[in-house]
């Protein structure tokens, strides 16, 4: 199952994803804000690779063309890599760790992961899946795991700067504990950012 976000045009190769950066902004030279995109943690991945959050067994397969957004290492899959599509409940996992009670706000959805251990993000701290023009929803949650607002973001030419601004805006509200970044077209969870 590929999404419009990752599917190339017929006969074309998937476009490589740009990555956001930490350090100085290329446009302004100013220091980046301290927002860290979080991949799915290794201990959670180990469980998802057996049985996912919907109770289904993991079914690995080889990516035919590549381009699937992997939430284990925050990069796109390459052709032939062993991957799996599993159901993941990010808010439920965070709530179990923090003691929050999200109630009806708990939800799960499909995410791509490597079928085996992959070592996690190669460039920790960089924003993944950052094609300029892509639409992202930034959903804010409070300390109890309830939705505390949200924002639509069209990624600009400098996607990292766009994410920095949108996340700074989100965390200006002291009630916001974490933000989930999702693709708009399919609502897919991409990554989580917690209050710095």
Q: Which residues contact 34 (CB under 8 A, 6 or more apart)?
A: 196
Residue 34 pLDDT level (bands cut at 50, 70, 90): confident
Report the Cα–Cα distance between both ends of the chain, in Å, rounded.
34
Cα 176 from Cα 190, distance rounded (Å): 18
Instruction: Please give the pLDDT value at position 136.
Output: 97
Cα 136 from Cα 42, distance rounded (Å): 25
Residue 124 pLDDT level (bands cut at 50, 70, 90): confident
What confidence tens digit (pLDDT) does each residue in 51-110 have?
999 999 999 999 999 999 999 999 999 999 999 999 999 999 999 999 999 999 999 999
Q: CA 15 → CA 65, 66, 148, 190, 193, distances in Å?
A: 11, 10, 34, 18, 25
Residue 27 has pLDDT above 60, yes or no: no
Residue 35 has pLDDT above 70, yes or no: yes
β partners of residue 114: 83
The predicted model gives 171-178 an average pLDDT of 98
- The DSSP element (H or E) to which 75 belongs, if any, is strand 75-76
**Ramachandran quadrant class, 55 (left: phi over 0; alpha: psi -120 to 50; beta: rest):** left
Q: Please tell me the least confidently modeled range out of 15-19, 106-110, 117-121.
A: 15-19
The predicted model gives 156-163 an average pLDDT of 96
Is the pTM value of this prediction over 0.75?
Answer: yes
Residue 142 has pLDDT above 90, yes or no: yes
What confidence tens digit (pLDDT) does each residue in 131-140 have?
999 999 999 9
Residue 17 has pLDDT above 90, yes or no: no
The predicted model gives 33-39 an average pLDDT of 88
Percent of the chain at pLDDT exceeding 70: 83
């Amino acid at each position: 199952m590929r999404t419009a976000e990752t599917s190339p045009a017929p006969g074309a190769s998937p476009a490589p994803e740009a990555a956001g950066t930490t350090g100085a902004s290329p446009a302004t030279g100013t220091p980046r804000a301290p927002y860290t995109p979080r991949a799915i943690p290794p201990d959670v991945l180990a469980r998802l690779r057996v049985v996912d959050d919907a109770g289904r067994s993991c079914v690995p397969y080889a990516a035919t063309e590549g381009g699937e957004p992997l939430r284990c290492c925050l990069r796109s899959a390459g052709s032939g890599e062993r991957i799996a599509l599993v159901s993941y409940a990010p808010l439920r996992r965070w709530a179990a760790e923090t003691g929050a009670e999200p109630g009806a706000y708990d939800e799960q959805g499909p995410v791509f992961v490597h079928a085996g251990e992959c070592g996690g993000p190669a460039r920790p701290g960089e924003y993944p899946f950052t094609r300029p023009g892509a639409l992202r929803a930034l959903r804010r949650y409070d300390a109890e795991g309830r939705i505390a607002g949200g924002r639509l973001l069209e990624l600009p030419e400098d996607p990292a700067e766009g994410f920095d601004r949108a996340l700074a805006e989100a965390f200006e509200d002291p009630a916001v504990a974490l933000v989930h970044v999702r693709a708009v077209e399919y609502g897919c969870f991409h990554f989580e950012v917690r209050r710095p």
